[in-house]
Amino acid sequence: MPTLDRHDDVFVLDLGDGENRFHPDWIAGVHAALDKVEQAGNPSALVTAATGKIFSNGLDLEWLGDHPDKFQEYAASVQELFARVLALPVITVAALQGHTFAAGAMLSLAHDFRVMRADRGYWCLPEADIDIPFTRGMSALIQSRLAPQAAHRAMTTAHRYGGPDAAAAGIVDHAVEAEAVRPTAIALAETLAGKAGPTLGVIKARMYAHVLETLRDTDNPLG
């Protein structure tokens, strides 16, 4: 389960040391951590990290297989998590120490900045290979955070980006050595912790109004 620690003004949310798939209990744990971050006030910032070889492998397909009747409800909960992180009234940095796939990659895009390991690990949207189309909300999120050419390649070819390639494509902001991923993300977040507050929240909400509306369409989350 996710854990939350604080380093001065920077909260560090560790998603876990496994595949960090989006199990409903895991999603609830992330929301509980975000509640604490939002309540902290200014100055504060958030780094989302993980431990091990994987940042996140995305949706919990095993849980979905056991609960097919809850697919729509589950999709809405995943998209609400994306929306919440995207509009969080603090600066957010994803520290990608390992593989970042599918919904895990989308979660990273919901952050303001991304720091990725340079020598190992891939960032990938594999949906074209696994026959799972992006929802309208997912498409809107990806296309709002990536340049058109990068979004097109990532979404239609399921290309696996290593750190340097991801940085060159503008998917991540920094590609660094493994031991520097989390410290770099924390240092970046620390410099921007003073931005936290209602004004930042309004800026994000207005900047991504269409994306947030689409992600929060609970009537048709799979559309």
Cα torsion 19, 179, 117, 212 to 10°: value is 60
Q: Measured between alpha carbons, how far is 33 from 35 in angstroms, rounded to an integer?
A: 5
For residue 74, count other CB atoms closer than 10 A to its CB: 22
142, two tokens:
């990806």
Give the integer Cα–Cα distance in Å for 137 and 19.
23
| Residue 51: other Cβ atoms inside 10 A | 16
Residues 12 and 219: their CA atoms lie apart, in Å, by: 33
End-to-end Cα, the chain, rounded Å: 30
Q: What angle do CA 184, 191, 201 make, to 5 degrees?
A: 110
Q: Which of 36, 134, 25 is nearest to 77 (CA)?
A: 25
Question: Any idea what the Cα angle at residue 110 is, between residues 215 and 4, rounded to 5°?
Answer: 115
Report the relative pairing of strands 3-7 and 10-14 from DSSP bridges: antiparallel
Q: To the nearest 10°, report the CA torsion of 52, 153, 147, 126.
A: -30
Per-residue confidence in pLDDT tens, the chain, 223 aa: 899 999 999 999 999 999 999 999 999 999 999 999 999 999 999 999 999 999 999 999 999 999 999 999 999 999 999 999 999 999 999 999 999 999 999 999 999 999 999 999 999 999 999 999 999 999 999 999 999 999 999 999 999 999 999 999 999 999 999 999 999 999 999 999 999 999 999 999 999 999 999 999 999 998 8
